[in-house]
């Protein structure tokens, strides 16, 4: 018995749906949003590009504890995004778009369309709850499969712990150690659940 409200088991190589429970039910998605944030950032920048942290990158929720004035590479921020689930890292990466974070979110939605994720919509790069920010278990499974095709994403998502940029980052995904999973991203808010 699967206790989750919605679940999907998808063969990532073939796209074949092996199991689903409410797989097409639109729901809040919390920090699983960061799969798309990372994918869009990887398409828009080099891992060695640097970003200067500003006060506007400080947002509520989970954090990698960035400080205004710090200069970090895109790689550093992606580790903070996917391991520590840093909302501050998400905001900093959204700053890659010269037209601002809203334009970056537009690119997230365009990428969702490109991947045929028809039941997905983003309104922020971190996954903070909003009625117009949602996806389904099936769309998230398809997004994860697409993201894992990117070797940089796959490597970062599979990392259990790393020390960089003066901080040690630990992956919150317990499945990495318990069953040998290679990722991808967990998420939690009070409204969304796990």
* Residues belonging to the active site: 31, 34, 85
Q: CB–CB of 56/75 below 8 Å?
A: no
Please, what's the b/e burial string for 82-107 (b: 16 or more CB within 10 A of its CB; e: otherwise)?
A: bbbbbbbbbbbbbbbbeeebeebbeb
CA distance 85 to 161: 13
- Would you call 1 exposed, middle or buried from its count of C-beta atoms within 10 A (0-12, 13-18, 19+)? exposed
For the beta carbon of residue 138, count every other beta carbon within 10 angstroms: 22
**DSSP letter at 75?**
H
Radius of gyration over every alpha carbon of the chain, rounded to an integer in angstroms? 16
Tokens of 81: 């995004």
Helices (H), the chain: 34-44, 74-82, 87-94, 101-114, 137-148, 151-157, 175-178
């Amino acid at each position: 018995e699967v206790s989750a409200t919605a679940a999907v088991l998808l063969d990532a190589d073939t796209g074949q749906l092996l199991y689903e429970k409410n797989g097409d039910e639109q729901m809040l998605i919390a920090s699983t949003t960061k799969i798309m944030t990372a994918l869009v950032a990887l398409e828009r920048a080099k891992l060695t590009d640097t970003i200067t942290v500003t006060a506007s990158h400080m947002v509520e929720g989970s954090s990698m504890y960035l400080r205004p004035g710090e200069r970090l590479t895109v790689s550093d921020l992606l580790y903070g995004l996917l391991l520590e689930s840093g909302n501050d890292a998400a905001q900093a990466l959204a700053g890659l778009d010269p037209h601002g974070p809203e334009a970056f979110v537009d690119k997230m939605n365009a990428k969702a369309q490109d991947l045929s994720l028809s039941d997905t919509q983003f309104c922020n790069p971190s996954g903070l709850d909003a009625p117009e920010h949602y996806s389904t278990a099936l769309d998230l499974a398809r997004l994860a499969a697409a993201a894992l095709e990117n070797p940089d994403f796959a490597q970062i998502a599979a990392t259990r712990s790393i020390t960089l940029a003066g901080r040690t980052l630990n992956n919150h995904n317990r499945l990495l150690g318990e069953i040998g999973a290679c990722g991808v991203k967990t998420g939690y808010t009070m409204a969304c659940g796990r």
